[in-house]
Amino acid sequence: MSYKDVTPSAAFAARSDARVVDVREPDEFVGELGHIPGSELVPLATIGSAASAWDRNKPLLLVCRSGARSGRAAQALAGAGFQRVMNLAGGMIAYNAAGLPVERG
């Protein structure tokens, strides 16, 4: 199984249908880059146990600061049988640069 890298605008569009999971640490989630509205915080170290209860057929969008940690999470979840995994290419850095809505705090 594999995953798909998506652009910030595609990630923003997917958020209505997909489970949006931010794999950063709690201080990053509420920090200067903020987070995608409606996303849930699941730090990378806990993603395996958290994902065990998730629907493997529902679209899943993974997010981090630069796209590296979320890429690792995407690869792991695709390998665990998740069918529709997306990774935000460039992470929240690219998402902010695109001027898309964020929540902070």
pLDDT at 99 over 90: yes
Catalytic residue among 21, 64, 85, 88: 64
Tell me the pLDDT band of 98, cut-offs 50, 70 and 90: very high
Residue-range domain boundaries for the chain: 4-97
pLDDT at 67 over 80: yes
pLDDT at 10 over 80: yes
Predicted pLDDT at 61: 98
Distance CA 43, CA 25 (A): 5
Domain spanning 4-97 has what CATH number?
3.40.250.10
24-64 residue pLDDT tens: 999 999 999 999 999 999 999 999 999 999 999 999 999 99
Torsion angle of C-alpha atoms 90, 34, 87, 73, degrees rounded to 10: 110
Alpha helices, H only, the chain = 8-14, 26-29, 47-51, 68-79, 91-97
pLDDT at 17 over 80: yes
pLDDT at 1 over 80: no
Per-chain mean pLDDT for the chain: 97
Reply yes or no on whether 96 is catalytic: no
